[in-house]
Each structure stands twice: as C-alpha cells, then as structure tokens.
Structure 1
C-alpha cells in the first residue's frame, strides 16, 4: 500500500514524474465507489506490522522508563522520596530517538513514527520538568507561587527545540503539532507565573487557551491553503494541527459559557446544539472533521439533558445516541454536497484559501 507521501517522495527522488504520480492518483480514485474528494486522507497504518511494531515499542519504552526510574531512585534523583525521576523520561526519549532512526527514517512506518515522536517530545518535556524540580527542590517550588509556571515554561521551550530537531531529521507530520502544543504550554506557563494564584485565574487561562487555539487553527489553515488539493505532506501536517486546535477552541468556549457545569438547562442545551451547528458549518468549509469530534461530548451531554427535561428519562441516552449518530452518518454520506453548498455561499476571497471542492485530476479518456 502506498500513501500520498510515498508518491511525493518518489517524485522528489526522481523515481517517477509528477505527471505519472497525478495519473496514478486519478486511476486509483476512479476505481473506488466514491470519489476521494473530502475523504480527509492521512497516513496512520500501512499494515498490521505497524501495530505489531507499535506494541513492541510501547513495551520497550515502558521497560526502559522503569529502569530509569529505578536508577534514579538508587541515585537519589527523584522528586521527594518515591516520586518520579528525570532519568525515566530521559531514557524513554533516548530510546524513542534510537528506534526512530530505523522505523521512521528507514522503514517509514506511520503508527510507530507517531508514537515514537510523542514519546520523544513528551520524554524531553518531562525530563526538563522533573529535572528542574529536582535541582531547585520541592520546597522552593511550593514556596513560590510563580515557580510552577516558570518551570513548566522552561520545560516546554526545551520540548519545542526537541520537536524542531525531530522535524528536521525525520519530517513526521505530527511533529509540527507537537511543537505547536509545546509553544502553547510555554505561553500559558508564563502567563500563569505572571498572574499567580489570583481569583478567577482559571477563566483567565481558559481565555488565553482559546486565543492560542485560534492561533493554532490559523496556523493549520496556512498549511492547508498551501496544499488545496491535499496531495502532499503539508495536508497531513495541517490535519494534526487542526486536531490540536479543535479542543483548545471548543473546551474553553463551552466552559466559559457555563455549559458544562453539570446542571444544563433547556436553554443551555439549545445553545450547545446551536454552537455545534456553527462548528459543523465551519468544519464543512475547511473540510476538517476534527471540530465536530472535539465538541461531540458536549452536544451528547446537552441533548441527553434535553431529553431528560421533556420526560424521556429512561431512554434519554438511547435517543441521544440515535439522533446524533444518525445525523453524523447522514452528514458523512452527503458531506461533499453539503460542503459545496456552504463553500458556494462564501466570498471568493475566503474560498481561495479553502481546500478545493473537486480535487481529483481529470482522468484521460481512452482513445476510440
């Protein structure tokens, strides 16, 4: 099985011409029951060997993390007496990098590459976090309310650097999203350190998370607009950025509006559903389903409460699942037609930055 990225790399290496790659894409899509437009392709699994290697890598990373923790405890390099040691995530990060040299750089395996990237960047972040806390002492951290934010920011900027090095070396699409997430942690940590433990800090931080989520979304749209046909690695990068931005936008919006406090009224439920419709229109316009998935938990809860309010207590969960499941399946079946309507209503200046409505290259007709 060959992915879009494989074709791109073959073209870059001169193995096939760009025209041949386009013709191959068109031929493959012509053999399917439905056109590939709006299917939002991204590479995750190329075969069961991806799952096999991912499971084996997870076991190995768990083992080296355990060994690192044991060594850290024997050397007294732990937070408090039996707390985490910076050696555990350091060993995990180093092992993940070593495995990536083969399974990512040489074998180009998708699922193991994603897992190893997250293990590497996450391991570097936790190494910096635990290492700084171990160096300055837990008492200093507890005594200064600005210290946790500063420590988190320093660890995050180290993770950003690690993600950049990983991207320059392996070019795994999710790496950009991991780096962007680390940048957001860095900014939120600095803001938390400046604000301190003041009243209403949670809502303030949620507001900044919302702003950062919008920033990540715009960054994702920049990658998307550079590949409107969605046939290169840039589209995969945009996919992971949208997956990061969606919860950063959805969760603060619903939380700041007080729509997830566990006491949803009929009015709040209707607001949730209305917001979900707006998110659905936005998802259709940019041709990304991440927004709908991120807000799904909220709309399921709100609709369940609405059914409960009208007396359908015993069947509220079943009715909610029936309505939402049917609506999403219907939307999926007619996604392209609905998207054509939504995009057609938008100004030309906005349409020029959106993914193409018809992304398939014309298929040459055989000679008579």
Structure 2
C-alpha cells in the first residue's frame, strides 16, 4: 500500500517525475470513481508492524514512567509525601524523543510516530507542571484554583514549545494540532485563573471561549487545507488533525449552551439540534471534512431519540433513531462528491478558490 506521502517522497527523491505521480493519482481516482480529494486520506498504519511497535512502545513508556516515579519517591522529588514526581514524565518525554529518532525519522512509521509525539508533548507538559509544583510547594495549591490555572497555563506554554521543537525535527502531521491544543489550553487556563474560584458560575463564559478557540483552530485548519486543495501533500494530513481538534471544540459548547447536556430535550430543542446538524453537514461538505459530522453525532442521536420517545414510539425509539441516522450518513457517504459539487459550485468564486477542488486534481503542489 502506498500513501500520498510516499508518492511525494518518491517525487522529491527523483524516483518518479511529478507528471508520473499525478497520472498515477488520476488513474486511481478513475478506478475508484471518486476523486482522491474526497477520500480524506491520512496515514495511520502502514502495516501490522505499526500496531506491534506501538504496543511495544506503549509498554516501554509505561515502564519508564513507573521507574521514574519510583526514583522520584526514593529521592524525595515528589509533590507531597507520595505524590507525582517530575522525573516520571521527564523520562517518558526523553525516551519518546529517542524512539522517534529511529521509528519516525528513519522508519517513518505512522501510528508509532503519533504515539511517540503524544507521549513527548504530554511528558513535557507533565514535567513542567510538576516541576513548578515542586518548586512552589504543595501548600501553594490549597484553596488556590487561580494558582493552579496559572501553573497549567505555564506548563501548556512549555508543551507548545516542545511541540514546535518536535515539528521542526520530525514533521509528524499531528504535531501542529498538539501545539494548537496547547495554545488553547494556555488561553483557557488564563481565563479560568482570571475568573478565580467561580468556575461553575462562569460556565457559559468558558464554553463561549472554547467555542471561539475552536473556530480559530478551524480557520487555521482551513489555511492548511487551502494550500493543498488537491490533498496530495503532508499539509492535508496536518489539516485533518486540526479539523479533528476543532470539531469537538465547536460542537460541544454549542450543544451544551443549548441545554442538551442536562439529560432532557424538548421537541423544540430537538428540532434545533437537527437543523444545526444539517448546517454542520453543509459545512462539512463544503470544506470536505467529516470530523464535524462525527463530533456532533452523539448529540443528534440523543435529540432524535428524545423526539421519537415524545411522539410515542417508546419501544422503537432507539431503533428508529439508528435507522434514520445510519441511513442518512450512508447515503451521504455514497453521494459525497455529488453533494459537494452541488454546494461548492453555488458558492462565490473567491470562496471556491479556497476550498478543496470538486473537479479532480489540480497541478501537483511541491511537498
């Protein structure tokens, strides 16, 4: 199996000409009767060896973290008497970086690279947070939620710097999304610090902030997407992970602010959810990303279930909900390209020039 990224590297190495790679992609498009741009391809596994290495790597990182915690406890470098030690996440981050030098930089394995990136950024975040906590002492956090949020914001900033360093060295597509998540964490933590201890009273403010940050991540993802409208380079993979991050940041605050998380849904609220899901579907078709639909799926399932229950179909409400949503999504998937063309072709030309193409591939974009 050859991925889009493999073809890019073959062109860069001179093994294939750019014209030959473009012709090959066009041939695959014709075979599938669907343009590659609509397949939303990204590298997750290249073979079972990816799964094997990922399992082994996870076991090793777990062991390293456990040993680091034991060393921290024996040396007294813990928060509190038996609390966490910064040595544990630091060891995990160091080992993850070392493993990435082989499995990411040399072997270019997809799933292990994602695991090692998450372990590295998480390890850097944990090291920064626990080091600061060790320096200021456990008493600093007693009845001091604002202080906790400031520490988390600083740790998120260090994690963002670590993600930037990892991107410069390894160029793993999910790294940009990890950095964006860290930046969102910085801003959210600072807002919570400014709010003090009244988190519950200011819940709507926090949700609105997350929504705004989600829209920002979505626009950032569209910037990556617009630079590769045919989705034949690594930039498309970067945009995929950014969309995957932005979707729940947009969907969850919207539906929570509508009151869908209180365990009840009136007929009016259920209809609003369905209308919003249709709007999300149109947006997903226009930008050619399915993450928005998947993120909102749980809410629309709940809303439809409540509607069927209130209309008297108590025994079959779950089955009817699954039937309607499953059939709708399958039909949408089967006619995705046609639906996209019907929507995108009616948009202004300036906006169409920023969206993924609906008419096959454009000229090859340098990797």
What TM bracket, shorter-length normalisation? over 0.9
2:22 aligns to what? 22
1:48 aligns to what? 48
1:103 Cα deviation from its structure 2 partner: 0.5
How many angstroms apart in 2 are the aligned matches of 1:155 and 1:35?
43
- With 143-152 and 117-126 compared, the bigger mean Cα shift is at 143-152
> 1:301-320 alignment to 2 at 5 Å?
301-320=302-321
1:113 aligns to what? 113
1:14 Cα deviation from its structure 2 partner: 2.8
1:212 aligns to what? 213
How many angstroms apart in 2 are the aligned matches of 1:190 and 1:19?
50
1:123 aligns to what? 123
How many angstroms apart in 2 are the aligned matches of 1:220 and 1:270?
30
SS at match of 2:45: coil
How many angstroms apart in 2 are the aligned matches of 1:181 and 1:119?
14
Deviations 1:309-347 (A, max 9, x none): 112222222211111111111100011111111112211
1:366 aligns to what? none
1:361 Cα deviation from its structure 2 partner: 6.4
How many angstroms apart in 2 are the aligned matches of 1:206 and 1:59?
36
- With 295-304 and 306-315 compared, the bigger mean Cα shift is at 306-315
1:76 aligns to what? 76
Deviations 1:189-219 (A, max 9, x none): 1111122123632211111111111000000
Deviations 1:103-148 (A, max 9, x none): 1000000011011101110111111112211221221122433211
How many angstroms apart in 2 are the aligned matches of 1:127 and 1:151?
12
SS at match of 1:146: helix
1:27 Cα deviation from its structure 2 partner: 2.6
How many angstroms apart in 2 are the aligned matches of 1:342 and 1:194?
43
The answer (yes or no) to whether the contact 2:46–2:109 under 8 Å persists in 1 is: yes
How many angstroms apart in 1 are the aligned matches of 2:6 and 2:140?
51
2:242 aligns to what? 241
> 1:280-359 alignment to 2 at 5 Å?
280-359=281-360
1:33 Cα deviation from its structure 2 partner: 5.3
How many angstroms apart in 1 are the aligned matches of 2:134 and 2:312?
56
Where structure 1 has 5 or more consecutive residues not aligned to the other structure, the ranges are 363-368
2:5 aligns to what? 5
1:30 Cα deviation from its structure 2 partner: 3.2
Q: Name the TM-score, length of structure 2 as normaliser.
A: 0.95
The answer (yes or no) to whether the contact 2:229–2:355 under 8 Å persists in 1 is: yes
Q: Pairwise CA RMSD of aligned residues? A: 1.5
- With 8-17 and 292-301 compared, the bigger mean Cα shift is at 8-17
How many angstroms apart in 1 are the aligned matches of 2:345 and 2:34?
22
1:228 aligns to what? 229
Q: Name the TM-score, length of structure 1 as normaliser.
A: 0.95
The answer (yes or no) to whether the contact 2:37–2:231 under 8 Å persists in 1 is: no
How many angstroms apart in 1 are the aligned matches of 2:254 and 2:299?
11
2:146 aligns to what? 146
The answer (yes or no) to whether the contact 1:11–1:17 under 8 Å persists in 2 is: yes
Moved over 4 A (4+): none
The answer (yes or no) to whether the contact 1:22–1:361 under 8 Å persists in 2 is: no
2:179 aligns to what? 179
The answer (yes or no) to whether the contact 1:23–1:361 under 8 Å persists in 2 is: no
The answer (yes or no) to whether the contact 1:37–1:358 under 8 Å persists in 2 is: no
Where structure 2 has 5 or more consecutive residues not aligned to the other structure, the ranges are none
Corresponding residue pairs, total: 362
SS at match of 2:66: helix
How many angstroms apart in 1 are the aligned matches of 2:194 and 2:15?
54
1:89 Cα deviation from its structure 2 partner: 1.3
SS at match of 2:315: coil
- With 343-352 and 194-203 compared, the bigger mean Cα shift is at 194-203
1:88 Cα deviation from its structure 2 partner: 1.6
Deviations 1:162-183 (A, max 9, x none): 0011000000000000000000
1:253 aligns to what? 254
